[in-house]
Structure 1
Amino acid sequence: MPADPSTTTGAHLAAMVERLEAEGVLTDVRLREALLSVPRAVLLPHAYVRVSDPGVEPIEWRLLDGSHPVDREEWLDVIHSGESVLLQRDGEQLDALERGPVTGGNMTSMSTYTPATVEILQSLALTPGLRYLELGSGPGVSLALAATLTGPGLATGVERDGHMAAWSRHNLDRLNVGAAVVQGDALDGHRARAPYDRIHSGIGVPSVPPAWVEQLAPGGRLLTTLTTRTPSWPGQLLVTRSGHGRTEAVLRGRPRGYRPMLGYRWLSALDHRARIKADPGRARPTRLAPPPDDAYGFWLAAAYLAPGLVRDFQAETMTIVAPEDDSWAVAGPGDGTVRVHGPRDVWAELEEVHARWETAGRPETYHVDLTGGPGHHHVASGPGRKALTWTLPPLTTVPPQTT
């Protein structure tokens, strides 16, 4: 069901790039030219759009076929919107999908939110001649951009899903940008073409696989999302290797990040929304005003030190749920009280973490010691007894694809 790139109007692509520049997201001239030169229509020839409301099961979808005249304009708007584009349900085969309504299933692959792609590629500072590895390359959008920036034959993607690997390889070959896609476990990297000057993971991981660090060249950079059991507050980890081989890892909170493999199984606050509205909980006083959304250093610490919490960002006032404990906290509306429900006092945990964060000097970045193996990566905001510290959880294994 591929769409002919000649049918794609350049106006949509130009408008997307102009938005990214106007929002201050896109600042690199070379990346701007790469974005304009890579036709997204080839890599994203179809798109799922959700029809049913959040929380409604089974989910109702509609598949837009970019080659169909009825779908074409809506499809063009979707793939150039800058938002993530939904591409695959339940690991399905991708070369014979039928347009129209579809019921049920979970999305197992999507393109990345475009501002995040731009931010990542700019921070990696890709230049001609650098060897690039993309882990969990999906449909290959960022891989194609990286190949355009580094030059042909230097950008490699590793994709676990066999259907997605074959589909993206076919689409990338049509672009002739010189990017390679191999099927394999992203946690293993790709030793055959190592070492790499730049490594980027398009999947979130609880800690850094040893293979990634081993395959990073001297002077190289590795960028990945660290995911916790708190999907609302991801962390971004930058690993650098000096010319002498010494590694340094810095973790910082971010407003968004990549999901882990099979990330649709993350905890959700949606199932509790109706119950919270009916019974927000008992009111009690609090000295902690709802922390601002951009206090990323605090929220990142809370993700580890008060795990298993999920923020309902659509709620009128700050609402944080512990789904597995059937507990929640509803803050505000600015009267010095908070409402709590369930056996776990969610807000008390946040009060404690916030006090510790204040004592530690309100850190925004944390250093990660990667010398130990997975499960022994220690995190600290700094030296001394007042520092915030924790240990990253071990890597989790995902069963191999069977279809």
Structure 2
Amino acid sequence: MRTQEWANVFATVPRHVFVPQWYEQETDDRGIAVWRHRSIADEGALGDVYRDETLVTALDPMTAQRVADDAWTGVPASSGTLPSLMAGMLEELTVEAGHRVLEVGTGTGYNAALLCARLGDELVHSMDVDQALVDVARQRLASVGYEPQLLPGDGTQGYPTGGPFDRIIATCSVPSVPTAWIQQLRPGGILVTDVALGIEGGLVRLSVGADGRARGFFTTTAGRFMAARSEARTNPSPERPERPPATGPRPTGLTAAEIRANYPLRLVLAFQLPGTELVYYVDDKTGATALQLQRGDGSWARVPLTGDDQDRVTFGGDEGLWKQAEEAWAWWNSVGRPAQDRFGYARETDGSTHVWHLHDGTRWNLPI
């Protein structure tokens, strides 16, 4: 915590009121990964809710399946963010007395409570796509004396009654900064959000000018959020194209270990390869695991996580996919392996976005 004001707020607002129950992932006795239900009523659990960890609070009803009395499989739909990440984002927001704030992603209501404790109820506005989450958050906030302005709805479309706001904070990820957020910020206003860029993404802090242009940088606070949704269920899985047969392998200096260990490198790969995903691939025959880049046209390239061939890449389709990744890795090394806060982010008035390296000016244009 960098400021005493936020330290005092975190010491005041009780997290367990907003996360009285949650799900922890574990492997059951059949070897299946399940979400085990936990509650502050369980023995020893009250202290667990104050761990610096993200706590999954809801599973997508379209994917959730009960497999035991207190265990489910499924995809997380909502969570209570780890406190250190929330603290970092709130510090980046640089709020001051009198600032009117919009939060996108009410979730448990805990972050709204922190903002209320710092600014006062009347200045805090919060939205969530899930009506049920908003209703529960309202009850929990009221139980500790806070009554911010809460509304259900798609927060990427902005607050229904409009701005202007001095600050906007989003606890969900977006592929690019929504126009509505720019329009509802006062000139000079600050926006903190998670931008998802495919392979990787990160938190950006942007200042909006009177002309509607937003410029800023990736923050020293690193963290990721669930994707913003337009309805109260998780986004459907995209259809996958048929993958072409394997070619290779060939030697490469870019290994899975390098990619996994270096968050800034993954960001650079995302800049270099827009529209590309980074996934784990498991061989059906051998069970061997690899790190795989894959594009929407079906092209793919993978490097093993373990074994004797970790410095060899196998690919299918366009061989240029991995060559571009190697070029990005070579550039990142050549400029001294810069951290994420050495990269700027801009959203232009026409909605286009780009990022750049703050020292040598290398620029990447991103899809709208």
Q: Summarize deviations over 1:341-375 as a string: whole Å, max 9, x none.
A: 231656533211223446778662134132113xx
**Higher helix fraction (1 or 2):** 1
Q: Return the letter of the residue paired with 2:156.
A: L
Q: Return the letter of the residue paired with 1:28.
A: T
Q: Return the letter of the residue paired with 1:198.
A: R
Q: What pairs with 1:159-170 in structure 2 (closer than 5 Å)?
A: 159-170=128-139
**Higher strand fraction (1 or 2):** 2
TM-score, length of structure 1 as denominator length: 0.71
1:260 paired with 2:239, answer: no
1:286 counterpart residue number? 252
Taking only aligned residues, the RMSD between alpha carbons, in angstroms, comes to: 3.6
Secondary structure in structure 2 of the residue aligned to 1:202: strand
Is the CA contact (8 Å cut-off) linking 1:357 and 1:388 kept in structure 2? Answer: no
Q: Summarize deviations over 1:304-358 as a string: whole Å, max 9, x none.
A: 323434266xxxxx9532366564113789x997122231656533211223446
Change in Cα spacing, 1:202 to 1:331, as seen in structure 2 (3 Å) is: same
Q: Summarize deviations over 1:271-319 as a string: whole Å, max 9, x none.
A: xxxxxxxxxx96643355764767554421211323434266xxxxx95
Q: What pairs with 1:137-176 in structure 2 (closer than 5 Å)?
A: 137-176=106-145
Q: 1:91 Cα deviation (Å)? A: 4.9
Q: 1:206 Cα deviation (Å)? A: 0.5
Change in Cα spacing, 1:127 to 1:78, as seen in structure 2 (3 Å) is: same
1:304 counterpart residue number? 271
Change in Cα spacing, 1:379 to 1:143, as seen in structure 2 (3 Å) is: same
Q: 1:36 Cα deviation (Å)? A: 1.4
**Cα distance in 1 for residues equivalent to 2:228 and 2:24:** 21
Which residue, 301, 312, 319 being the options, matches 1:339? 312
1:321 paired with 2:292, answer: yes
Which residue, 34, 51, 58 being the options, matches 2:9? 34
Secondary structure in structure 2 of the residue aligned to 1:181: strand
Is the CA contact (8 Å cut-off) linking 1:83 and 1:112 kept in structure 2? Answer: yes
1:179 paired with 2:148, answer: yes
Is the CA contact (8 Å cut-off) linking 2:193 and 2:204 kept in structure 1? Answer: yes
**Cα distance in 2 for residues equivalent to 1:104 and 1:332:** 28
Structure 1 residue runs without a partner (length 5+): 1-25, 93-98, 268-280, 313-317, 394-403
1:203 counterpart residue number? 172
2:95 counterpart residue number? 126
1:389 paired with 2:360, answer: no
Q: What pairs with 1:219-258 in structure 2 (closer than 5 Å)?
A: 219-230=188-199, 233-242=200-209, 247-252=213-218, 255-258=222-225
1:378 paired with 2:346, answer: no
Q: 1:169 Cα deviation (Å)? A: 1.1
Which residue, 89, 105, 108 being the options, matches 2:59? 89
Change in Cα spacing, 1:251 to 1:194, as seen in structure 2 (3 Å) is: same
Is the CA contact (8 Å cut-off) linking 1:239 and 1:248 kept in structure 2? Answer: yes
**Cα distance in 2 for residues equivalent to 1:322 and 1:287:** 15
**Alignment size in residue pairs:** 334
Change in Cα spacing, 1:368 to 1:86, as seen in structure 2 (3 Å) is: same
Structure 2 residue runs without a partner (length 5+): 63-67, 239-246, 281-288
Q: Return the letter of the residue paired with 2:344.
A: Y
**Cα distance in 1 for residues equivalent to 2:23 and 2:316:** 39
